[in-house]
Amino acid sequence: MARLRLKVGLSGLGRMGKRHALHFLDRTPRAELVAISTPDNAEIDWAREHLEPFGVTLYKSYEDMLRHDGLQAAVIVSTTSVHADQAIKAINANKHVLCEKPLSTSVEVSQSVVDAAALHPHLKVMCGFSRRFDASYRSAHRKTTSGLIGTPSIFRSQTCDKLDPSGFFVAYAQHSGGIFVDCSIHDVDLALWFFGPSSRVKSVVASGITAVQPRLREWGDSDNAVGIVEFYGGKIAYFFASRMMAAGQEDSTEIIGTEGKVTVNMQPRLDLVDIYEKGGVRREFPATYYERFEEAFVREAIEFTQVCLEGGELPGGMKLEGAVEAVRIGCALQESLRSGEKIWFDEEGRRVERSRL
């Protein structure tokens, strides 16, 4: 007897959208990609070649896709500015939702997705933080929560992209929310995961430079930035984000506890091959974020599909409220980057003046 398969529709076929579509088409056995939507003619042309021959229906209207016969889940990989709107429409249409990060560049808009999901508790609504599905990060998390390093106290993490001279990230900065909301939000989510759901932010401060893309200043953004987040209870997270790495993608994390530490990918490498040449020994780096986390994205699709079909808690310790908190911290870091001011919060998460703490 054939197992049930989740009927999935996907919105957006940009760089990541194409990859998600192929994951659900070819690499998620219990999912069936039945429809996609995009208003972009070039993306429709790509879908005609790569998806339509396998029975995928193509829509230019997202709302029409949601009405596709038998559709059970929407995967949202469209531009960030419509993530929340499309997620809420899918929820109201009684569809499970996997939405790429962030839910929005606005805390209030992100919260509106949580509010909509709360009215439909039978649906699985998940924000896609891919590193929670990476084997190495999962191993580090198990070791940390087992007490191996004592109490996690210092969290240091970075997302550093290889330099893209095309100017893509300058154009992208118009709607990405900035380097902390776009890049460091992965690290912020990891800090919340490793420090635990009860972690409450006390203060944030950030600084940045534009070393290779000066036009980013037009959007109040930087190509290299550092942020420090202090949590109540005596914990600190340090984030570094960069768009100008020469060798390749450098994403690494260090969790320091009272009795030891664990690290993830502190010496980045593409594989286990070392190259011995006249000038010495070298190794290759993954060139892109996707090259580093491809298997995590596939695992995310598989586990999202499983929980939609079988029920239970969201995978990877995911909580939709945590996605809002990650946006809250990312936005505060971006604000601090632009203003040069330190931002303070009380234990309920409300903005306060320093004098009141």
The reported pLDDT for the residue numbered 87 is 98
Burial (CB count within 10 angstroms: exposed 0-12, middle 13-18, buried 19+), residue 77: buried
Give residue 238's Cα distance to chain centre. 18
Q: Using alpha carbons only, how large is the chain's radius of gyration in Å?
A: 21
The owner of tokens 């559709």 is 71
71-127 residue pLDDT tens: 999 999 999 999 999 999 999 999 999 999 999 999 999 999 999 999 999 999 999
Higher-confidence residue of 220 and 27: namely: 27
Residue 256 near residue 149 (C-beta atoms within 8 A) = yes
Reported confidence tier of residue 356, pLDDT bands at 50, 70, 90: low
Q: What is the pTM of this model?
A: 0.94
Q: Convert the pLDDT of each residue in 1-17 to its tens digit.
A: 467 999 999 999 999 99
Which residues, in sequence order, are bridge partners of residue 241?
A: 159, 225
CA distance 97 to 23: 16
Joined together, the tokens standing for residue 88 give: 């809420």
pLDDT digits (tens, 9 = 90+) for 169-220: 777 677 778 999 999 999 999 999 999 988 999 999 999 999 998 888 888 8
A 10 A CB-CB count for 146 gives 8
Taking residue 180's Cβ as centre, other Cβ atoms within 10 Å add up to: 30
Beta strands in 152-214 (DSSP E): 152-162, 201-209
What would the mean pLDDT of 317-346 be, rounded to a whole number?
Answer: 96
Question: How many Cα atoms sit within 13 Å of 84 on the Cβ side?
Answer: 20
Confidence of residue 346 (pLDDT cuts 50, 70, 90): very high
Read off φ and ψ for residue 347, nearest 5 degrees.
-70, -10
Burial class (CB in 10 A: 0-12, 13-18, 19+), 275: exposed
Q: What are 264's two structure tokens?
A: 């993830």
What pLDDT, on the 0 to 100 scale, is given for residue 110? 98
Instruction: Give the pLDDT score at 338.
Output: 93
% residues pLDDT > 90 (the chain):
89
Q: Is the pLDDT of residue 56 over 80?
A: yes
Long-range residue pairs from 338-342, CB within 8 A, at least 24 positions apart, any chain: 338/220, 340/207, 341/205, 342/203, 342/204, 342/205
How far is C-alpha 344 from the chain's CA centre?
25
Residue 357 in this model has a pLDDT that exceeds 60: no
pLDDT in tens, 211-234: 998 888 888 899 999 999 999 999
Q: What is the mean pLDDT of the chain?
A: 95
Asked whether the predicted pLDDT for residue 242 surpasses 60, the reply is yes
Contacts of 230 (CB under 8 A, 6+ apart): 201, 202, 203, 204, 236
User: What does the pLDDT read at residue 355?
Assistant: 52
CB count within 10 Å of CB 328 equals 21
Which of 285, 293, 216 lies closest to 16, judged by CA?
293
CB count within 10 Å of CB 60 equals: 13
pLDDT class for 168, splitting at 50, 70, 90?
Answer: confident
19 pLDDT more than 70: yes
Look up residue 99 and give its amino acid.
C
Cβ–Cβ < 8 Å for 9, 75: yes
